[in-house]
A and B are shown apart, each in its own frame.
Chain A
């Protein structure tokens, strides 16, 4: 069965600092991978996704993630945090060859200090 592990339920960074949110997955076949962001009292918004091709994926708001098959990881990064980045971030996976339901991690809440 597939699963997604997000290390750290809460990450706090200073404004301008590097943001690193960790995601590891378990899957018997290479999956499709997604990062979603959820602002308070809002639905989820897609930040970026990896399906095929280049393993470094760029998304919205300056975020990017790198698919590393050998490490079964898909960590999310942003070089310089902004106050508006404060939100909850979810990593998700879907399995090739299946009906493809998204399996979400438990989420990481990002706080940005001024």
Chain B
């Protein structure tokens, strides 16, 4: 079974530029998550999708971050414009349903450096 795929793996941009990350979850997984992991900290949830609907985006900085999951499969996370403090690893995860105890499977992450 293929895991969660993410691209690109690394990205370096200058502040005020825009950037987009892509995630392909495990086939059949209805729930998709985007996390931000700043160096030295644990991952923090940015947004959670159930199929193509948003379940929770309470911690997403909506003035600069946006995410979509068209057709309930792949997802894209965008930052526009980027700030220095957005430097982090962006992790995508998926789970088969929305039950709290279900395992989330993580992709390898996209490491973003904003200069």
The DSSP consensus for interface residues of chain A is loop
Report the interface size class on chain B: 20 to 34
Q: Does A58 contact B (CB under 8 A)?
A: no
Task: Among B91, B103, B104, B108, find the residue whose CB has the most chain A CB atoms closer than 10 A.
Answer: B104
> Quick check: A44 and B103 within 8 Å, CB to CB?
no
**Count, chain A residues at interface, CB 8 A:** 26
Q: Does A90 contact B (CB under 8 A)?
A: yes
> Quick check: B42 and A107 within 8 Å, CB to CB?
yes
> Quick check: B56 and A99 within 8 Å, CB to CB?
yes
Q: How far is the CB of A45 from chain B (nearest CB, A)?
A: 7
A102 to B42, CA, bound (A): 10
Supposing A42-B108, A101-B48 touch, asked if A49 and B42 sit within 8 A by C-beta, the answer is no
When distances are taken between beta carbons in the complex, the residues of chain B under 8 Å from A107 are 40-42
Bitwise, B12-48 to A at CB < 8 A (1) or not (0) is 0000000000000000000001000000111111001
When distances are taken between beta carbons in the complex, the residues of chain B under 8 Å from A44 are 43, 91, 93, 106
Partner of B104 from A9, A95, A102 at Cβ < 8 Å: A102
A36 to B48, CA, bound (A): 19
Q: Which residues of A contact B (CB under 8 A)?
A: 4, 9, 32, 36, 41-46, 49, 51, 90, 92, 94-96, 98-102, 104-107
Q: Which residues of B contact A (CB under 8 A)?
A: 4, 33, 40-45, 48, 55-56, 91, 93, 98-101, 103-109, 111
